Each structure stands twice: as structure tokens, then as C-alpha cells.
């Protein structure tokens, strides 16, 4: 089975064909095809290619399944004895993609 390590959104992901992963939000519509060019490593059985920093000519193709948001995170600030209280919420946007092929 072919595996690859890709970089997107400042994070690294280990993927193989058929995997569904959540990555930082991509500007792509549902059903679009995206291509990840920053491939750090490709492993196919006993054959392995490691980049310095990226593998030349390697790419990973994926299809966008949906755009989603993570559960809400509450941010609460308070200064005791001063009457200062602030509550703020945040929902991080993500894109769910399915890996179609690993080209190396």
C-alpha cells in the first residue's frame, strides 16, 4: 500500500489512497479536485522516497467531500474583583477531503 506525508495548512498528514481526512479550510467547492504538491515522503512497500524538504515531482490528488466546522470552543476571560467578564465563541472551519491517488 502506498503512503505519503503531505503538508497543508501548516500541518502534516500521513495519507494513503482512499483515506478521508479533515484539513484546514480550502477555497474549493464540494466535488472539486485539489492537488497537494508539498509531499515530504512517499513509501510504497520497501521503496521509500524522502524529500529535502519535498519530493520532486510528487503530488497527491484529492476530492473535496464537504466543508464543515468544528464544535464550538468557549473562550472566557475574567479579572477577579474588578467586574470584568468576557465570553467569546469560536468554530474552526475545516474541509473534508478523500485521497484519490498518490503520484510519485
- Tell whether omega for the bond before 43 is within 30 degrees of 0, i.e. cis: no
pLDDT reported for residue 104: 82
CB 51 within 8 Å of CB 77: no
* Separation between Cα atoms, residue 64 and residue 33, nearest integer Å: 6
C-alpha 81: how far from chain center: 43
The pLDDT value recorded for residue 12 is: 97
The ranges of the chain with pLDDT < 70 are none
Per-residue pLDDT of 49-74, as tens digits, reads 999 999 999 999 999 999 999 999 99
Q: Are 2 and 43 in contact (CB under 8 A)?
A: yes
pLDDT at 1: 83
- Tell me what pLDDT residue 2 has: 92
pTM: predicted TM-score of the whole model, two decimal places? 0.85
Amino acid at each position: 500500500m502506498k503512503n505519503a506525508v503531505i503538508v497543508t495548512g501548516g500541518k502534516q498528514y500521513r495519507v494513503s489512497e482512499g483515506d478521508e481526512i479533515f484539513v484546514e479550510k480550502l477555497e474549493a467547492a464540494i466535488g472539486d479536485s485539489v492537488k497537494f504538491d508539498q509531499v515530504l515522503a512517499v513509501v510504497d512497500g520497501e521503496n521509500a522516497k524522502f524529500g529535502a524538504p519535498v519530493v520532486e515531482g510528487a503530488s497527491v490528488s484529492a476530492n473535496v467531500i464537504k466543508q464543515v466546522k468544528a464544535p464550538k470552543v468557549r473562550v472566557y476571560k475574567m479579572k477577579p474583583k474588578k467586574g470584568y467578564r468576557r465570553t467569546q465563541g469560536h468554530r474552526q472551519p475545516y474541509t473534508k477531503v478523500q485521497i484519490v491517488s498518490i503520484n510519485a
